[in-house]
Amino acid sequence: MSQLLAIIEKYEKRFDELNQELIQPETLSNPSRLRVVSQERRQVEDVLAAGKEYRDCLRGITEAREILDESSDDDLREMAKQELESCSAHLQELEEKLNLLIIPRDPHDAKNAIIEIRGGTGGDEAAIFAADLYRMYSRYAESLGWKVELLSSNPTGVGGLKEVIFMVKGEGAYGRLKFESGVHRVQRVPVTESQGRIHTSAATVAVLLEAEEVDIRIEEKDLKIDVYRSSGPGGQSVNTTDSAVRITHLPTGLVVTCQDEKSQHKNKAKALQVLRARLLDRAIEEQNKEIAQERKAMVSTGDRSAKIRTYNFPQSRVTDHRIGLTLHRLDSIMEGELDGLISALQKDDLEKRLKAAENMKEKAA
């Protein structure tokens, strides 16, 4: 109890510091810093709102106990008894709420996400599954009022996608979609299968942060930019002008191509957007080697065995192997109804962070 009150006092101090920073000219002139400070201020406000309720509840308990100790009025004592029971029950709820609110949040969760999907093991069927996943995430984003912007795609002649890169724009997009990174496995009878046999294929999903120029600065001298004519499935020409763009980042060797737009300028802008996201992702990984190794293991090869989720069409079953969750409503999930899966993954992540925070408190005590 006293520990929570001390934490609330720290948040009050931090709230005053953030208010001061928000009115500083250097903050107001820096959109990136302004966004970060404003976002932290909102989170601190949430803690302080719950903290006010918590203090009010403690005050109510103290006053009720004083009445029970000092008053002989039966009606007043009955009211105090009810108030004590009510406040005591609410106090426990507020303690749980505060413990969750003070867990450090990922500062990137509110940002937009860039998703890369690639067909893995399984040939044409893997590419078709990659296209299905793209549709699934697009439907999910649209159901939340988010916007989907296609950045790059590499279609096949059978309706699949060897690779597709797109941005999801919306408040909290990265925070909800970041758990989708990994290898997704599908078990079904492919449309190209004449014998009716069930095949197992896979596609990889990588969820990256949208990086702004203020996050990642790219020097022109570090880029090799090639232009060429766009082509579609089978190599047929799409445009008669050199509108497709290939950008190579010389220091890292990262290569990004974009040919979906008819304008070379637009293709270059989209390719740079993807390049920034990949560079930011690499920078974040370098700050945490353990996470880097885990992510590399998840999306390294696209092999069937390195899976985070399985979509079994014959049994209408979707299983997330990280949390052992199985749902028997594959059709609705493929239509974008992902809330059940994503909410369960968020809850699991929250519980792990809560446990880590409690361990830190125990070590500090």
284-312: average pLDDT: 61
- Helix 31-70 with 74-101: angle, nearest 10 deg: 150
Decide: 29 and 44 in contact? Cβ < 8 Å: no
Q: For a pLDDT cut of 70, what percent of the chain falls above it?
A: 86
Decide: 254 and 223 in contact? Cβ < 8 Å: no
173 and 320 belong to one structural domain: yes
Sign of CA dihedral 130, 136, 138, 141: negative
Residues listed for the chain: 365
186 and 304 belong to one structural domain: yes
8 alpha carbon, distance to own chain's centre: 28
72 Cβ neighbours under 8 A, 6+ residues apart: none
228 and 329 belong to one structural domain: yes
Q: Average the pLDDT over each of 158-167, 269-278, 348-357 and give the range with the smallest value.
A: 348-357
10-31: average pLDDT: 90
- C-alpha distances in angstroms, 38 versus 15, 100, 172, 215, 336? 11, 20, 15, 17, 31
248 Cβ neighbours under 8 A, 6+ residues apart: 223, 224, 225, 226, 254, 255
365 or 278: which carries more pLDDT confidence? 278
d(C-alpha 122, C-alpha 146), whole Å: 31
Q: 81, 102, 123 — which closes off a domain?
A: 102
- Map residue 88 onto helix, strand or coil: helix
pLDDT band at 214 (very low <50, low <70, confident <90, very high): low
pTM comes to: 0.66
257-263: average pLDDT: 85
* Number of separate domains in the chain: 2
Cross-sheet strand order for the sheet of 317-320: 147-155, 161-169, 113-119, 199-209, 182-188, 309-312, 317-320, 325-327
92 and 155 belong to one structural domain: no
334-361: average pLDDT: 83
pLDDT band at 296 (very low <50, low <70, confident <90, very high): low
Within a domain: residue 362? no
pLDDT value at position 293?
52
Other CB atoms within 10 A of residue 323 CB: 14
Within a domain: residue 134? yes
Six token digits for residue 254: 């990262």
Within a domain: residue 107? no
pLDDT value at position 96?
80
138 and 201 belong to one structural domain: yes
d(C-alpha 259, C-alpha 151), whole Å: 9
d(C-alpha 94, C-alpha 122), whole Å: 51
Within a domain: residue 177? yes
Q: 102, 122, 156 — which closes off a domain?
A: 102
Range of the domain at 50: 2-102
- Helix 339-364 with 74-101: angle, nearest 10 deg: 100
List the CATH number of the domain containing 34: 1.20.58
92 and 120 belong to one structural domain: no
pLDDT band at 70 (very low <50, low <70, confident <90, very high): confident
pLDDT value at position 363?
61
Beta-carbon-side half-sphere exposure of residue 333 (alpha carbons within 13 Å): 20
Within a domain: residue 257? yes
pLDDT value at position 324?
94
62 and 134 belong to one structural domain: no
pLDDT value at position 292?
44
Region of 93 on the Ramachandran plot (φ > 0 left; ψ -120 to 50 alpha; else beta): alpha
pLDDT value at position 49?
92
Burial degree of 119 (CB within 10 A; 0-12, 13-18, 19+): buried
Average pLDDT over all residues of the chain: 84
Within a domain: residue 363? no
- The model's pLDDT over 100-137, given as tens digits with 9 standing for 90+, comes to 787 767 777 888 999 999 998 888 899 999 999 999 99
Six token digits for residue 186: 């599908």
List the CATH number of the domain containing 284: 3.30.70.1660
Six token digits for residue 118: 């690639």
